[in-house]
Structure 1
């Protein structure tokens, strides 16, 4: 911010000069405060299996999270496809909670700030947390947010002077003219509550009058209380990315580590600029009717063999959603089958069936030396990190974190395929950038 100060020369008494100087300094400080721009800020993300996660169930073993995350991915895929009128296959319908396995972010709501945790989700728009009075809520180990204790909390009312309730199709007006939201999920779980505005604090940055969901009825959202809600990073108008678009210049980026004992991060604003000679920039397609960031995946390759993907039926969208809330990557069945055969030819380990019948390709080994696997998008290629390709799901059994989709048309680029990359979202340029990175040193 450049400030030009011009001094005027005029005759005045010493007392008046002092008063003029005092007035000038007061106005100068006010100008600084009123035009302050947040350059950027970065906070830590918590791996779903990290011991630093206050919601982690200590009775879980080190393999539980990946099983739950896989079921989450199946359920989310079915939910996404049903949103676009594609009927779900029975192979995709599960009774596992649809939001397990994501990376959690610590943030605060209200005045004074009340600390809570939410799963960062590029596939969701509404940022919500469980709220008192909790009429029907899932158990959580930390205190639940009580809006009565926040001086800045304000319930959104339905009236002609306030258009907040028209920001999202999931908002509606109650009989009492209170704006409310209801988010159903594929396994009949849901969150229901009031739409409100309050102060949102992330790291050292605070933002006033942010639209949030205050959930009073939340059914079975998180197995073993992974978090208290969702941090919506999607594209729609109600997401915090769109609400804070000017303050953060429409930019955010995250760096995900596959290791539970290693740090991951998310940045906003100028801190989220991804640059360098090795950056891959891919165009993103967005829509006003859904929160997703769409890419066009043209093919997958294993070593020097490429397996093309048929053109997407939804040409205006693309065919693949990049989703931080989905753990595994979901690709067409015909592509998965071809990749599976090639991987079995090139990996010198014993292939076995997943004991629980979930994953499509497993080996009886912990150390898998896999060939290079590349996702070829319109605009650029992303080589998947070896540390995210296979996950130990049981003692001595490792499975591929890419799974088949038994339906056609919509695929998902999940968080395991994004590890060891700085992934940047730029809403101003409609671009997604990838840069190889050691997230523990980001």
Structure 2
């Protein structure tokens, strides 16, 4: 099997194919719709594990982040190479945080998929099965849908190698693993690259939107998957910048915009979290904007030009270029809601960003003579016993290009555990790019505006 360097090859592939997708969808009428994101801790989630304590929920979020960061580091290392069919960001099957409900085909088949912010392929388990995991409802059966067809081998995604043409059929093979080099945790899906009609609902109560010819995977050979005890997950919804992801396929139809507002990640969420597209996106006042470092459609992650960080009112003063993206993907700063906890690089061109930030937090809390605690979730390194009369918790500010000030409220910069009467600084050490995770995105309206090539944000109370 041909060996390739994953980062640069993926960039080249995206550049070569972007023109096709822009041409393919440009003539279509712009639309707006929303997907319901169902977090694991919602009673409505097919992955719901019952009434976990905040400590248990946070430990799970830390484990998810560490597994994803470990694989990102491995994938970006100079000595790593990945075979063509495994070029996508692979991950352990238990670390997806959001599920989405989908309706596809004619007549409509409905099921749950897990949202993958690091992968592009949309796929669901299909009949007739070669090897399939157990599902509580019927598998999608393309033979029963009048709107189904297979992707032809002369399609650019097959011609350029994102998929492969074998015996006149366009097929794919994707491996999901934890990045810990343990082959026992890997899941493998194989199937036919296909076209189908997807139904989406609108936030504003209008008629549902039907979109024909969405490229997705009809997976009839699945091995090693255990998505949850209730067997309600049928596949994966890719939401990265790969050209086969939902965002990329619908780029011009959604005016190259999508948005979300994440509530507290440690509460049981009763209301829907909406991933808004196009005209369904609310447009609040006082939006701040900062540009993506490179055109987002030619980059697998949303890198930002972070200039500096403040802890409380104390600006650290990192050297210029500390957060500059590198050509091999091992340096830089990007935003990704698929990483629950923010991670900061311990070797950003020689600067230990994590240590510098944590030292500021520690100096403040030590000055108040707070006692360090050992009853912390495994992974957080700076935790204190919390006196009931102490309220001087620090904020954290990311200073971005164009004077954009991204302020993380003290409630979202820390983990508070009332069960043990402790609090921790909610940041993890990293060995690759620094990542603005979902915990630091709580109660903010985040808009990915790819028309203007900027990230927009404003503080907002997100319902839960």
TM bucket (normalised to shorter chain) is 0.7 to 0.9
- Correspondence for 2:337 among 314, 317, 324: 324
Match of 2:326 in 1: 314
- Correspondence for 1:391 among 388, 395, 415: 415
**CA 1:359–1:61 in structure 2 vs 1: closer, same or farther (change >3 Å)?**
same
1:112 is displaced (CA, Å) by 1.9
1:272 is displaced (CA, Å) by 2.3
CA RMSD of superposed structures (Å)? 3.3
Cα distance between partner residues in 2 of 1:190 and 1:138: 11
1:65 is displaced (CA, Å) by 3.8
Match of 1:422 in 2: 445
Cα distance between partner residues in 1 of 2:63 and 2:162: 25
Deviates more, 1:350-359 or 1:295-304: 350-359
Conserved 8 A contact 2:65-2:340: yes
Match of 2:200 in 1: 202
1:288 is displaced (CA, Å) by 6.0
Conserved 8 A contact 2:163-2:170: no
1:69 is displaced (CA, Å) by 2.5
Conserved 8 A contact 1:129-1:214: yes
For 1:242-262, what per-residue CA distance to the aligned partner results, in whole angstroms no more than 9, with x for missing partners?
211222111110111113325
- Residue pairs, 1:36-435, within 5 angstroms: 37-58=29-50, 63-86=55-78, 97=92, 100-133=95-128, 135-137=130-132, 141-158=136-153, 160=154, 162-166=155-159, 169-175=161-167, 177-185=169-177, 186-187=179-180, 188=183, 189-194=186-191, 195-203=193-201, 204-215=208-219, 216-220=221-225, 222=227, 224=229, 227-258=233-264, 259-263=267-271, 264-272=273-281, 274-276=283-285, 278-284=286-292, 285-286=294-295, 290-307=299-316, 308=318, 310-312=322-324, 314=326, 319-333=332-346, 334-347=352-365, 349-353=370-374, 357-365=378-386, 370-379=393-402, 380-392=404-416, 395-396=419-420, 397-405=422-430, 407-408=431-432, 410-435=433-458
Cα distance between partner residues in 1 of 2:424 and 2:223: 33
1:170 is displaced (CA, Å) by 4.3
1:342 partner SS: helix
Deviates more, 1:185-194 or 1:233-242: 185-194
1:58 partner SS: coil
Match of 2:86 in 1: none
**CA 1:392–1:122 in structure 2 vs 1: closer, same or farther (change >3 Å)?**
same
For 1:76-95, what per-residue CA distance to the aligned partner results, in whole angstroms no more than 9, with x for missing partners?
2222233333569xxxxxxx
Q: Is there any run of 5+ residues in structure 2 with no aligned partner, and where?
A: 1-26, 81-90, 202-207, 347-351
Indicate the structure (1 or 2) with the bigger Cα radius of gyration: 1
For normalisation by structure 1, the TM-score amounts to 0.78
Q: Is there any run of 5+ residues in structure 1 with no aligned partner, and where?
A: 1-34, 89-95
**CA 1:303–1:355 in structure 2 vs 1: closer, same or farther (change >3 Å)?**
closer
1:314 is displaced (CA, Å) by 0.5
1:303 is displaced (CA, Å) by 1.0
**CA 1:109–1:301 in structure 2 vs 1: closer, same or farther (change >3 Å)?**
same
Deviates more, 1:337-346 or 1:234-243: 337-346
Cα distance between partner residues in 2 of 1:227 and 1:62: 25
**CA 1:391–1:281 in structure 2 vs 1: closer, same or farther (change >3 Å)?**
same
Cα distance between partner residues in 1 of 2:75 and 2:232: 25
Cα distance between partner residues in 1 of 2:303 and 2:115: 18
Cα distance between partner residues in 1 of 2:435 and 2:223: 26
Deviates more, 1:234-243 or 1:383-392: 383-392
Conserved 8 A contact 1:170-1:182: no
1:207 is displaced (CA, Å) by 0.8
Conserved 8 A contact 2:46-2:228: no
**CA 1:129–1:321 in structure 2 vs 1: closer, same or farther (change >3 Å)?**
farther
**CA 1:75–1:39 in structure 2 vs 1: closer, same or farther (change >3 Å)?**
same
Cα distance between partner residues in 2 of 1:360 and 1:77: 17
For normalisation by structure 2, the TM-score amounts to 0.74
Deviates more, 1:35-44 or 1:370-379: 35-44
Conserved 8 A contact 1:54-1:141: no
Conserved 8 A contact 2:62-2:340: yes
For 1:166-189, what per-residue CA distance to the aligned partner results, in whole angstroms no more than 9, with x for missing partners?
46x542233463322324432442
